[in-house]
Each structure stands twice: as C-alpha cells, then as structure tokens.
Structure 1
Amino acid sequence: MGEARTAVVAGIRQVYRIAGEGPVCLVHSGGPGVHPEYLRIPGLERGLTLVYLDPVGSGDSDLLTDGDYSVSRYARFAEAVLDDIGAPTGYFLGHSHGGFVALQFGLDHPDRLDGLILYDTAPANGRRERETATKEMASFVQRWADRPEAVEAGRMWDAVNLSRTMEVTDDESFGRYINGILPAYFADYRKTVERLGELALVVIHDPNRLPVSWDVRDRLGTINVPTLVIVGTYDFICPPRLAYEMHAAMPNARLCELRESGHFGHIEQADEFASAVLDFIHDQETGNRK
C-alpha cells in the first residue's frame, strides 16, 4: 500500500493510501473503529486504483471530538478524498459499516459515483438488525458446537449485547470483544487460520462516539448507479437476506453470493471476490451493463 496522504475537513485529518492502477475506487472498511488494514485487497490492485481510507475514528485518521460519527459525515470525508486526489468521480467499495457509508454516498453525492460495490453490508442499522445478528450468532454456535472458539464467540456476543455483563470501555476491552467474536465472521475460521495463520483486528475505542441509528431502506430505489452487491452465505452480522433485499430494491444492481464465505469473502474466497468486482468494473467501463 502506498504512503499515507491526508485530506483535511474542518481541521480533521482524513488519512488515505493509494495502490494499484486503473479506474479510481474508494475502499471504506467496516467497524467502526477497526483498523482498515484487514481490507487490503491485492487482487483488485491489478485492475483498479484503490484509495484505501482510514475512516475517521480509526487507523491514522483523527477522532471526532464531538462524537458525531453519523453515516452522512463519513460520506462527506470520503468525498473530500476524491477532491484531494482530483478525481471528479470514482467507484466506492464499502464493507460492512463501510457499506452504510457507500449507500449514503450514493444518496448524498450520486454525481460523484461511477458505481457501488456493497460488500457484506445492510441498508439499516438498529435494534432489528442487532436482534437478527443475535439469532445468526446462535446458529453459528450450534453449527460449530464442538469448537471452543465458537462457543466463546457466542458467550462474548451475549455478554456485550444481551446480559450486559461485559462493557466495552477502552481499546483493550474493545479488542478483546471483537477478536473474541471474530470466528463467527468466517464460514470456517479454523480453515482460514490454517491457511493464513492467526488473525487479529486492531481497534480504537472512542468513548465520545455517539450511538447512531440509520435506515435507508425506503430510499434504495432512488440510487440508480450501477451496483454490485456481494455477500457471504455464512455472514452472521449482515446475512444474505439483507443483500437480496438491497438487490431487489435497487434498480441497477447485480448480486454475487460467495457460497464458502462469511463476512470476509475477500479473505476466504479471494479469487472469486476479485473476479466478481473486476468483471463488474469491466462491464461498466466497456458499456456492458447487464
């Protein structure tokens, strides 16, 4: 990944890095508060100029002193990066929470988009989505009931989200929680670890971060840019049903389901993920927009 660059918005530093060659594509990781390094995608760098964002409140970017991490505000910082590199338009690949930002960008700044890649994400974030994730987590634990790391992931999820016996108050407790539930984000965590080695996410906890409830389901039909929706069959946090809802509601969308992936298809099925994205980009660039 290239060296860090910085766009400044109202005195706030938004750090980003550029790698690859081809059409410009912003890459917005999930979290929020998770270091974006996990979303490095070398397989796309052979066909795209990837502009990897360190979303505010994570990586090397600044925290927001007022705690207002609204999805529209994230979208504004992404637009500032396009301005900073002198790109009138670009594609936008958003993963998980980054997909919220991509959808919001499509609503707030449609004239700056060549296309959207909505990767393991959802059109809303609130109590209903948390309840769905809780049920999906229970299904994950049942599927791998003989694996201690799966049972522990379920226990950690319940401790934070149901019984409230564990609080996330700082970087350490946030890291312990997110890495404790990490096995649930994969179709087969052990298989991935055997191939790549131990996995761990680096996180930043901003105690000033205000809670955000967000829902654009009733506006999806107004986003008319070419869109690729990617989802892993075993994604517990943004399950396939939500991807199919987005695909059905958006007028210019196609869907790719990765049958052997969870929330991290770019890791579990890297070749298939890259092919889906590059084929989508190729079709837009050559006018084959079926």
Structure 2
Amino acid sequence: MSVPVKPSHHTESNVSTPSNPAAASQSPDAPLSPGIHSFEVGGITQRYHVYGSGPFCVVHSGGPGIFWDYMRMPLLEQHLTMVYVEPIGTGDSGRLPSHPHGYTRDRYSRFLEVLINHLGVPKVHLLGHSHGAFVAAYHALYRAERLAGVVLYGGAPVTGPEHGEEAGRRVQEFAAKHAGHPGLADVLAAFGAMSGMSDDESTVAVARGVLPSYFANYWDNEERFAPIRDTIRATYISGMDEDLSPDLVDDRAALKGLEVPALMVVGRHDVICGPRWSQELHELIPDSRLVILENSGHLGHVEEPALFSDAVRDFVLQTTGSESDTAR
C-alpha cells in the first residue's frame, strides 16, 4: 500500500509503567512507547494503543465495528507488548469516504500492513478475534512477510449461509439451555434485530443485547460480566464493499497452504464461531495448534483469562524466531 504515513503520537496518563526498562526509557514519540498513538494513512487516521513488554502481539478486534477496548488482556501484558488496533471506522480511527461501506478484509489488511511496518520491528504476532480472526487469516495468507505467527481466536474459515446455519443452531441450543430465564427474550430479540442494523445506535443495542449468549453462563456471573456489556461501543459497518457487494469469506482452499505458525483458540460454548470452525481451521492449516476453553463462550479472554493467556503466551514465545524479532 503506497501511501504517505504521517505520525501523530499521544501519551496516556493512566497507562501502567511497563516492567521492561528499555520500553520505559523510550521517547514518548517512539511507535512502541506505552500509550496512545496515531498516524495518517492516505489521509485516514489509524490509532492504536501499546501496553506491556516483551515480544510484540498486534490485536485486531471483532464486529466488524466493535471498539477495541473489550480486548484488553492484562495478563498477557505481563509477558508481551500488546499493540491494540482501533480498526478503521471505529473509535478515534478515521472513516473511509465510503463509510459505512468498503471495510473489506483486504482493506483492513492493508492498514494492518502499514501499522506493522510503522512499528519498526522485524516481526510481530497477529491476534484477531471474531471478525478480526477473519482479517488475521487473510493477512497471514496474503501479507505474512512480517508475521512470526497468527492467533485465530473465535474465527472460522467461511461466512455466508453455512456459517449462518451453524450459528442459528447454536443460538437455538443456547435458548433451550436457558428456557424460562427472564432475560432470554431480549437476547433473542437482539438476534432478530441484527439484520436491521443501520446506524451506530442500533449496532450498539444489538451488540449489548446478544452479549449474554457470548458467555458460557452470563446470568450466573452477571455481576462480573454486566459491566462489560454496559460499556460495549460500536460503529455501524455494513460488511459490504463500496459497490455494495458482500465481503464473503471462503478460505478453505487457501488455508491448506498457510505457512505462518497458527494457533486457534475457541470457547466450547461459543455460539457465533463455535468449536466446529476452529477444529476445521486446525485441520486445514498445516502444523497448527488448537486450544478449546471448556468453560468459555465467545469471550474466553474474559471468562478464562489465565488459560487463555497461557495458551497465547506460550505460542508466542515458542514461535518467536530470535532475539532480533523482539529487539526494539
């Protein structure tokens, strides 16, 4: 992507001081100094956040359109330098001229390529969650030059009718399991409203509405999980290109040739991208690894944070090629 990149860095007063002295001694303007950063890509702002120390892991959140902050992973920040991307179209990153259309995997990947180059390190690991896992898979397939590994968290090799039917079946299982619960009707109504999303307000309402189904058992842990539900933010992204054609996915053939080390992480109770899909990804991708979190849904990094963090940390440390890969 040949576009001008103009840095515009910011620091954040409440960022924890990293344990790595080298990171702490960096200039606040360095691309990997702790805090908030942004730069211009072809006139569009790309914003990201840096926490922690150690090998570098770039994180792409899901949706598309869900703001980045639900992906904060403090346990991983104790071992890795976590670079949380605000995907274009969300938060304080810029909007495309074609907004809410045009946010294809290829475009997200192009912005990731510029961001990873901007960080100035030889290689990084890329972790994508949900829709972000589709983006991460695409990036690993077609722009892998600076990837040491990829984590496909709650992803799948396909979208479209087959994926939708499986999700529908899983939602029915969720409904049967929680039949009679007073909150179930609202969750099912939110799923019914999903196809009618057309603006930021309706997108936030749907995201918060369906969220109880994204946990293995939300209502038995509501005091713990309700604050996450209440703070979810989102932008409406149509899922279509500028010409209003859907950005459909079928990576099954291509993934057989993926050369980047890959880890799949999925919750046993995930209704959106359940274990079937991560198992299929694992079978498609040569020499890949699969971790199933037995007591999680779609948000294992929240439900079983220690197990999730151990799996990702071990994978990153084992697939970091050399000390030069983590040199600042």
Question: Could you state the TM-score of these two structures normalised by the residue count of structure 2?
Answer: 0.82
Q: Matched residues in 1 for 2:45 and 2:260: separation?
A: 29
Give the secondary-structure state (helix, strand or coil) at the position aligned to 1:215.
coil
Match of 1:181 in 2: 210
Match of 2:268 in 1: 233
Q: Which of structures 1 and 2 has the bigger CA Rg?
A: 2
Match of 2:288 in 1: 253
Q: 1:224 to 1:137 in 2, by over 3 A?
A: same
The Cα offsets for residues 137-184 of structure 1, whole Å up to 9 and x where unpaired, read as 1111111112122232123213444xxxxx212221111111111111
Give the secondary-structure state (helix, strand or coil) at the position aligned to 1:124.
coil
Match of 1:192 in 2: 221
Q: Give the one of 250, 256, 276 matched to 2:311.
A: 276
Return the letter of the residue paired with 2:276.
R
Q: Matched residues in 2 for 1:145 and 1:236: separation?
A: 16
Q: 1:207 to 1:248 in 2, by over 3 A?
A: closer
Question: Could you state the TM-score of these two structures normalised by the residue count of structure 1?
Answer: 0.92
Q: 1:101 to 1:150 in 2, by over 3 A?
A: same
> Is contact 1:72–1:108 with CA below 8 Å preserved after alignment?
no
Matches within 5 A, 1:92-131: 92-131=126-165
Q: Does 1:264 align with 2:299?
A: yes
The Cα offsets for residues 71-99 of structure 1, whole Å up to 9 and x where unpaired, read as 01101111111111112321001000110
Q: 1:218 to 1:209 in 2, by over 3 A?
A: closer
Give the secondary-structure state (helix, strand or coil) at the position aligned to 2:271.
coil
Match of 2:57 in 1: 25
Return the letter of the residue paired with 1:115.
G
Match of 1:168 in 2: 197
Q: Matched residues in 1 for 2:291 and 2:251: separation?
A: 21
Structure 1 stretches of 5 or more lacking a match? Answer: 162-166
> Is contact 1:223–1:250 with CA below 8 Å preserved after alignment?
yes
RMSD: 1.8
Match of 1:13 in 2: 45
- The Cα shift of 1:209 comes to 5.5
Return the letter of the residue paired with 1:28.
H
Q: Matched residues in 1 for 2:176 and 2:116: separation?
A: 44
The Cα offsets for residues 197-219 of structure 1, whole Å up to 9 and x where unpaired, read as 43231111256954321221111
Q: 1:229 to 1:18 in 2, by over 3 A?
A: same
Q: Does 1:204 align with 2:243?
A: no
Match of 2:179 in 1: 145
Return the letter of the residue paired with 2:44.
I
- The Cα shift of 1:129 comes to 1.1
